[in-house]
Amino acid sequence: MSSNSGLPGMEAEFNKAFLQFMFAPLTNAMNLSSNKTCTPDKTSGSEKVCPPEKVCPPEKVCPPSETGIIISIQDKTTKNRFQGNDLNDMAEAMNKFIESFRQYWDTPKYTCKVYTKDTVPETKYNIFLIDDLDIEGAYGYHTELNGVFIIKIGVETTLKNPEHGIFQRKQMNGRSVSDVVAHELLETIGNPYVNRQIFTQFLPVYTMVDADTSETVDVLEGIKKIPSIFIILLQDGTIKNGSKMTQEDFNTIQKVYITANVLAEVVNPVQSNKVDEIVNNRKIEVCDFITPEWFKIESKGPFNFKKTLLNPFDLDVGGYVDFFLINLPNKPVSLRFYMFRTE
**Cα distance between residue 340 and residue 160, in whole Å:** 23
Give the model's pLDDT for residue 329: 62
| Mean pLDDT confidence for 317-326 | 90
Residues 155 and 205 in one domain: no
**Cα distance between residue 12 and residue 230, in whole Å:** 28
Helix (H, G, I), strand (E, B) or coil at 115: strand
**Cα distance between residue 105 and residue 267, in whole Å:** 13
| Mean pLDDT confidence for 308-317 | 95
Q: How many residues does the chain have?
A: 343
Number of independent structural domains in the chain: 2
Look over the chain and give the mean of its residue pLDDT values, rounded to a whole number.
Answer: 81
* One-character DSSP codes across 160-190: TSTT-BSSS-SSTT--BHHHHHHHHHHHHHH
| Mean pLDDT confidence for 290-304 | 94
Residues 100 and 249 in one domain: no
Among 207-216, 234-243, 330-339, name the one with the lowest average pLDDT.
330-339
Residue 35: inside a domain, yes or no?
no
| Mean pLDDT confidence for 161-175 | 94
Residues 127 and 229 in one domain: no
Asked if 46 and 221 touch (Cβ cutoff 8 Å), the reply is no
Residue 297: inside a domain, yes or no?
no
Residue 300: inside a domain, yes or no?
no
Asked if 320 and 268 touch (Cβ cutoff 8 Å), the reply is yes
Give the model's pLDDT for residue 4: 64
Strands 110-115, 69-75: pairing is parallel
- Tell me the one-letter amino acid at 64: P
Residues 108 and 233 in one domain: no
Asked if 159 and 81 touch (Cβ cutoff 8 Å), the reply is yes
Give the model's pLDDT for residue 5: 67
Residue 312: inside a domain, yes or no?
no
Q: Which of 15-29, 51-65, 203-217, 299-313 has the highest mean pLDDT?
A: 299-313
Residues 128 and 275 in one domain: yes
- Tell me the one-letter amino acid at 184: E
Higher pLDDT, 43 or 73: 73
User: How do residues 194-218 score in pLDDT, each as one tens digit?
Assistant: 888 888 989 999 999 988 888 999 9
Give the model's pLDDT for residue 343: 80
**Cα distance between residue 265 and residue 313, in whole Å:** 12
In 3D space, the residue among 67, 71, 109 whose CA is nearest the CA of residue 90 turns out to be 71
DSSP symbol at 246: -
Residues 135 and 258 in one domain: no
* One-character DSSP codes across 30-79: T--EEPPP-----SSSSPPPPPPSEEPPTT-----TTT-EEEEEEE--SS
Model confidence at 64: pLDDT above 50: no
| Residue 61 banded pLDDT, cuts 50, 70, 90 | very low
Residues 149 and 256 in one domain: no
Predicted TM-score (pTM) of the model is 0.78
Residue 40: inside a domain, yes or no?
no
User: How do residues 242-286 score in pLDDT, each as one tens digit?
Assistant: 999 999 999 999 999 999 999 889 999 999 999 999 999 999 999
Domain that holds residue 22: 2-28+56-196+266-292
Residues 244 and 284 in one domain: no
Helices (H), the chain: 16-20, 86-102, 155-159, 177-190, 219-225
Q: Count CB-CB contacts under 10 A for residue 329.
A: 7
Asked if 240 and 230 touch (Cβ cutoff 8 Å), the reply is no
Percent of the chain with pLDDT over 70: 78
Helix (H, G, I), strand (E, B) or coil at 110: strand
Residues 142 and 233 in one domain: no
- Which residues have CB under 8 Å from 336's CB, separation 6+? 211, 212, 322, 323, 324, 325
Residue 7: inside a domain, yes or no?
yes
Residues 252 and 274 in one domain: no
Residues 86 and 181 in one domain: yes
Residue 125: inside a domain, yes or no?
yes
Model confidence at 294: pLDDT above 70: yes
Residues 235 and 101 in one domain: no
CA angle 264, 269, 273 (to 5 degrees): 135
Residue 137: inside a domain, yes or no?
yes
**Cα distance between residue 157 and residue 138, in whole Å:** 8
* One-character DSSP codes across 289-315: -B-GGGG-TT-----BTT----STT--
φ/ψ (deg, to 5) at 32: -90, 150
Asked if 155 and 167 touch (Cβ cutoff 8 Å), the reply is no
